[in-house]
């Protein structure tokens, strides 16, 4: 065997030296960060921050980390772990965390409900701390003025519960899954079955409390209209830590109607889906019918495709059935398919808790623990009937056993809100949005790769049929495939715009402007945070 050359020895030595140096500096900045926090807390008689800090040495560290992980793709032994988790119970804890992590070059990841599809709230490829807002979850409802203040760490289920406690006819237009966190959901848009009547959660926000890069607590007035605009759909994590939101509640009838109807290919599913595309966005805004496609077994036991139509109607069954017979007779809806109920019962119904007490909405534990990858698309022209054949072919592939395509109708009030009203630009001109999803059970990296490749193939296949220039996407269905920043350092406008225009269209320019004003040093950053224009950070920090 040849003896190693002096240059090989030098390279090896340099590598070992640099690795140990990096380990020492990382350990140092970790220790310095903790010392900084304790120093701040000594100087502040009411700060008991030491009680809400968890390091790896703490026995609760793993359970706190895992409690709000909602995609098990990011809960593996190799998933990077935070140096520290802080679960603030008061504003000063957030302020201290922001100041100290800035001082010691540690990245902050802000987590409210932990539903980020790509785990940006609890994973990073550089040293990081998690600011987990789970205990900042107060909700106060003002029934008389039809408003509420809700802290970011609350879930939308908890919000729905508190609204229903006060009134049978007040509601809020947000998402379907009750464990979704208010912090990420509102700041990225947030929609559910009331979308066509009342718009997004973000459209109904009227004030907010945010802690900025300097540690200042700001409300709408003191943060100014630009920043207040940015956090209603532009993603909170680029701009600061949003502590709480003031929202307008909406009024709904005391009796609503729901239905869930399944049709397989043998029951004419393709024809019904095709017709749905022509009517779903033009129906009265009181009527919301979403549909989803899955693989299924037909009555003869053959593998087939099933279209499921789910509807919420803001009125009674006697109005709904004739309306359906007139607008989508192909579905063959009958009165017996429909159930009348209150708004809060419709929340339970669509969340899979039909007939259960509304107490289940207070739980933060989901009913299933999923491993998945998702993507989104916007549809501006009906997809030709023949194109569905190609979709079905992909659904028959092995990886698609638990795949689903969800079609979410637009129109209604979404057509009336301008593209630039909030950073969320997907308004008039969209018939519907598609969410592509594939789930699988564990199985390690190989299984993950197979399923992720499957959804990427489906996404490529869909390209001719969906929005173009940009191929638009919904930021709350985070997808790092649409482009990423350099999380370790400087990201140019050009690099950011690759993904930024897909989520925000031309609103990306204003978001960059706001970011440049409020966080020019790019402290609040992640793989898809808005880059400031003039940030000239060194390549690696
Ligand atoms: P999480 O805590 O992971 O945060 C998401 C992002 O927001 C991260 O970048 C995070 O740093 C940032 N962030 C969170 N809190 C912040 C704060 N206080 N200040 C600043 N930044 C903050 N969407 C939808 O519109 N309708 C729906 O029906 C559903 N349904 C649904 C079901 C399930 C099972 C999942 C997993 C997801 C959804 N979503 C959804 C998507 C959901 O709206 C999206 O993932 C939200 O960002 C989740 O917000 P969380 O606070 O739970 O996530």
Lowest mean pLDDT among 33-42, 84-93, 499-508: 33-42
Q: What is the CATH number of the domain that holds 77?
A: 3.30.43.10
- What is the overall mean pLDDT for the chain? 93
pLDDT at 2: 42
Same domain, 217 and 283: no
Same domain, 438 and 512: no
157-172 pLDDT, tens digit each: 999 999 999 999 999 9
Same domain, 110 and 58: yes
Last residue of a domain, one of 251, 270, 298: 251
Same domain, 385 and 268: yes
Query: 119 in ligand 1 pocket by Cβ < 6 Å?
Result: no
Number of domains in the chain: 4
Question: Which residues neighbour 469 within 8 Å (Cβ) at sequence distance 6 or greater?
Answer: none
Whether 266 has a pLDDT exceeding 90, the answer reads yes
How far away, in angstroms, is 211 Cα from ligand 1 center?
19
Query: What sign results for the dihedral spanned by CA atoms 335, 338, 341, 343?
Result: negative
Whether 535 has a pLDDT exceeding 70, the answer reads no
How far away, in angstroms, is 2 Cα from ligand 1 center?
56
pLDDT at 11: 47
Tell me the residue range of the domain where 421 lies.
256-341+366-465
State the average pLDDT over residues 93-117: 97
Task: Please state the pTM of the whole predicted model.
Answer: 0.94
H/E segment holding residue 251: strand 250-251
Query: 112 in ligand 1 pocket by Cβ < 6 Å?
Result: yes
Last residue of a domain, one of 438, 465, 492: 465
- Please identify, by atom number, the ligand 1 atom nearest to the C-alpha of residue 200: 25
Choice among 477, 490, 503, 534 that is catalytic: 477
How far away, in angstroms, is 182 Cα from ligand 1 center?
7
CB 188 within 8 A of CB 175: no
Same domain, 284 and 332: yes
Same domain, 199 and 226: yes
What percentage of residues in the chain have a pLDDT greater than 70? 94
396 is catalytic: no
pLDDT at 139: 98
15-49 pLDDT, tens digit each: 444 444 455 567 777 889 999 998 887 777 777 89
Q: Is 534 exposed, middle or buried (0-12, 13-18, 19+ CB in 10 A)?
A: exposed
Determine the Cα–Cα distance for residues 166 and 162; give it in Å rounded to an integer. Answer: 7
Question: Token pair 């003896």 is at which residue?
Answer: 3
Lowest mean pLDDT among 8-22, 42-56, 78-92, 363-377: 8-22
Query: 185 in ligand 1 pocket by Cβ < 6 Å?
Result: yes
H/E segment holding residue 304: strand 303-313
Query: 184 in ligand 1 pocket by Cβ < 6 Å?
Result: yes
Same domain, 238 and 222: yes
Same domain, 218 and 285: no
How far away, in angstroms, is 489 Cα from ligand 1 center?
25
CB 146 within 8 A of CB 273: no
Determine the Cα–Cα distance for residues 274 and 278; give it in Å rounded to an integer. Answer: 7
- Paired tokens of 447: 């299984």
| Protein residue closest via CA to atom 26 of ligand 1 | 175
């Amino acid at each position: 065997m040849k003896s190693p050359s002096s240059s090989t020895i030098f390279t090896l030595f340099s590598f070992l030296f640099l690795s140990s140096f990096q380990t020492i500096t990382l350990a140092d900045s970790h220790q310095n960060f903790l010392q900084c926090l304790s120093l701040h807390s000594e100087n502040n008689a009411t700060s008991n921050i030491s009680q809400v800090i968890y390091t790896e040495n703490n026995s609760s560290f793993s359970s706190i980390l895992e409690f709000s992980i909602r995609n098990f793709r990011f809960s593996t032994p190799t998933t990077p772990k935070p140096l520290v988790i802080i679960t603030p119970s008061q504003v000063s804890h957030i302020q201290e965390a922001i100041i100290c992590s800035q001082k010691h070059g540690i990245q902050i990841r802000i987590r409210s409900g932990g539903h980020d599809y790509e785990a940006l709230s609890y994973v990073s490829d550089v040293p990081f701390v998690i600011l987990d807002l789970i205990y900042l979850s107060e909700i106060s409802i003002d029934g008389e003025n039809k408003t509420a203040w809700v802290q970011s760490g609350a879930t939308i289920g908890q919000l729905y519960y508190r609204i229903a406690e006060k009134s049978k006819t007040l509601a809020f237009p947000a998402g379907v899954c009750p464990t979704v966190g208010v912090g990420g959901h509102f700041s990225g848009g947030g929609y559910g079955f009331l979308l066509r009547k009342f718009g997004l959660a973000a459209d109904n926000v009227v004030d907010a409390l945010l802690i900025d890069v300097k540690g200042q607590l700001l409300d709408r007035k003191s943060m100014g209209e630009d920043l207040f605009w940015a956090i209603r759909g532009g993603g909170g994590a680029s701009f600061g830590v949003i502590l709480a939101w003031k929202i307008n509640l909406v009024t709904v009838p005391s009796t609503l109607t729901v239905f869930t109807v399944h049709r397989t290919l043998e029951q004419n599913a393709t024809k019904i889906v095709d017709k749905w595309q022509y009517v779903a966005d033009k129906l009265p805004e009181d009527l919301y019918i979403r549909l989803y496609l899955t693989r299924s077994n037909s009555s003869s036991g053959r593998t087939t495709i099933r279209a499921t139509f789910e509807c919420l109607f803001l009125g009674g069954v006697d109005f709904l059935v004739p309306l359906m017979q007139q607008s989508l007779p192909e579905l063959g809806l009958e009165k017996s398919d429909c159930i009348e109920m209150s708004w809060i019962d419709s929340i339970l119904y669509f969340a899979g808790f039909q007939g259960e007490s509304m107490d289940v909405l207070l739980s933060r534990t989901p009913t299933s623990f999923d491993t998945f990858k998702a993507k989104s698309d916007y549809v501006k022209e009906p997809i030709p009937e023949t194109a569905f054949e190609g979709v079905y072919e992909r659904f028959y592939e092995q990886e698609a056993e638990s795949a689903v395509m969800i079609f979410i109708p637009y129109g209604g009030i979404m057509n009336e809100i301008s593209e630039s009203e909030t950073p969320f630009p997907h308004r008039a001109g969209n018939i519907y949005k598609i969410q592509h999803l594939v789930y699988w059970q564990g199985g390690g990296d190989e299984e993950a790769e197979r399923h992720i490749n499957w959804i990427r193939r489906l996404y490529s296949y869909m390209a001719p049929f969906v929005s173009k220039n940009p191929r638009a996407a919904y930021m709350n269905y985070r997808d790092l495939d649409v482009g990423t920043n350099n999380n370790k350092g400087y990201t140019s406008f050009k690099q950011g715009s690759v993904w930024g225009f897909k989520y925000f269209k031309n609103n990306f320019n204003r978001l960059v402007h706001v970011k440049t004003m409020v966080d020019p040093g790019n402290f609040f950053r992640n793989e898809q945070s808005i880059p400031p224009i003039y940030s000239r950070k060194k390549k690696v920090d």
